[in-house]
Amino acid sequence: QSVLTQPPSVSAAPGQKVTISCSGSSSNIGNNYVSWYQQFPGTPPKLLIYDNNKRPSGIPDRFSGSKSATSATLAITGLQTGDEADYHCGTWDSSLSAVVFGGGTKLTVL
């Protein structure tokens, strides 16, 4: 059971928009930065979003992050088949003194 809650899977058609939620509590998301990672099968995760809503260099602006209270959301617009991957949210948990991740969400582009 992960500390952060993500839907196991989401799907949408090419060109559409999809959102992936990440729910936590005041000890983690509520008071710390959230990051998002994209992971293709057999490869390491890649930083997609940091500090809730910032994109590393090279990440297209089709990817955006937001946070409200104890929940965070990753939005992907203009979906492409190449976006099919697992997406993980992560943050620091001040009560656990540990980094916590969501269980991961598998994105399918139909």
Partner 1 sequence: EVQLVESGGGLVKPGGSLRLSCAASGFTFSVYSMNWVRQAPGKGLEWVSSISSSSSSINYADSLKGRFTVSRDNAKNSLYLQMNSLRAEDTAVYYCARDQSNYLEFDLWGQGTLVTVSS
Q: Which residue ranges make up the site for partner 1 (CB under 8 A)?
A: 2, 32-33, 35, 37, 43-47, 50-51, 56, 88, 90-92, 96-104
**Is the CB of residue 19 less than 8 Å from the CB of residue 5?**
no
1 vs 81 by CB, closer to partner 1: 1
- What span, in angstroms and rounded, lies between the C-alpha atoms of 20 and 43? 21
Least Å distance, CB 32 to partner 1, is 8
Q: Is the CA virtual torsion 20, 26, 27, 33 positive or negative?
A: positive
Least Å distance, CB 23 to partner 1, is 14
50 vs 75 by CB, closer to partner 1: 50
In the block, which residue shows the tokens 């994105």?
A: 107
- What span, in angstroms and rounded, lies between the C-alpha atoms of 25 and 16? 30
Least Å distance, CB 68 to partner 1, is 19
